[in-house]
Amino acid sequence: MDQLCMHRLWFLLVSKATTADKTGGDPAKRLGALAGLALAIGGKEYQHNYKRGLWKRHLLFDLLWFIQSGHTTRPQEPHSPSWLWAAVSGAVSQQLMIDEKGFTGKRHVIVHTATVISGPESAEAADEGLLVLKCPVLRAVNLTNAESHYYTVEVQSAHGGVQARFAPDTVDFDQCRDFVVAEIVREVVYEPGGQDRVSEVWSNGLVLRQVREYRGSGGPRIVFMRVGRFWMRWPVYWSSFLRGVAEEDRVFGNGIPIRVV
């Protein structure tokens, strides 16, 4: 998949640049360090396809960044939307299960479960850094510190609670708040042998918390802020789950519009 390959190559550069970051976490300087590379990659049209460290052509993959090391507190006066890696300090990385060695030889399918909503609403809110997605959204509870700076949360699905790995963007996120998870990309892995026998199903997405109401032309709307990234392996041994893989709304819920600042 060309989008996935381009995403990987770009975030290899982002990872190297942010690991060696000498800007003190300043968002403008962090983005400035990669501006020349973005121009070289995108050519004259890069301004239409590249915004604030992310590429339009593979935006859904790019949204799945996480802070691998060097976490700090969130800036008191943030200058970037929370869904941008430049909004926080630390070494930025990316990881999908397709990159794991254990899946060698297995058929692997990536499904985009989120769509970027286009139209007047997104255009109107662009200056405020409002990202509007339509994707499955589920409540997350029972936050637990698992290892180092990683946590686990229990995602409440229609079939029961499922444990997800949660990598927070900063060290000062509010652990008392209720969270939701927004699924961006789903990975389905099939057993080798040519049969459509599901081996594993993974959800990848954003961990969010509600921050305020946005009042645009359509009136008040709930707005969320990104607090981290999640990975979740679904229990494929549930018979009801396997039946629902082909009927996604039975397992994951219908996608709903969600606004992230």
CA-CA distance, 75 to 23, in Å (whole number)? Answer: 14
**Per-residue pLDDT reduced to its tens digit, 150-193:** 999 999 987 789 999 999 999 888 887 789 999 999 998 888 87
pLDDT of residue 60: 94
- Rounded to 5°, angle at Cα 144 from 141 and 146: 140
- Asked whether the predicted pLDDT for residue 207 surpasses 90, the reply is yes
Provide the pLDDT confidence category of residue 246 given band limits of 50, 70 and 90: very low
Pairing of the two strands 107-112 and 115-116: unpaired
Report if pTM > 0.85. Answer: yes
Q: Is pLDDT above 70 for 101?
A: no
What value does the mean pLDDT take over residues 111-139?
A: 73
80 or 90: whose pLDDT is higher? 90
Q: Which residues contact 84 (CB under 8 A, 6 or more apart)?
A: 27, 52, 53, 54, 129
In Å, what is the CA distance from 84 to each residue of 44, 63, 104, 155, 212?
Answer: 23, 7, 31, 24, 19
Q: Which residues, at least 6 apart from 141, have a Cβ–Cβ distance to it below 8 Å?
A: 153, 154, 156, 161, 178, 179
Q: Is the confidence at residue 20, as pLDDT, over 90?
A: no
- Which of 52-66, 79-93, 116-130, 213-227 has the highest mean predicted lDDT (pLDDT)? 52-66
CA distance 162 to 141: 10
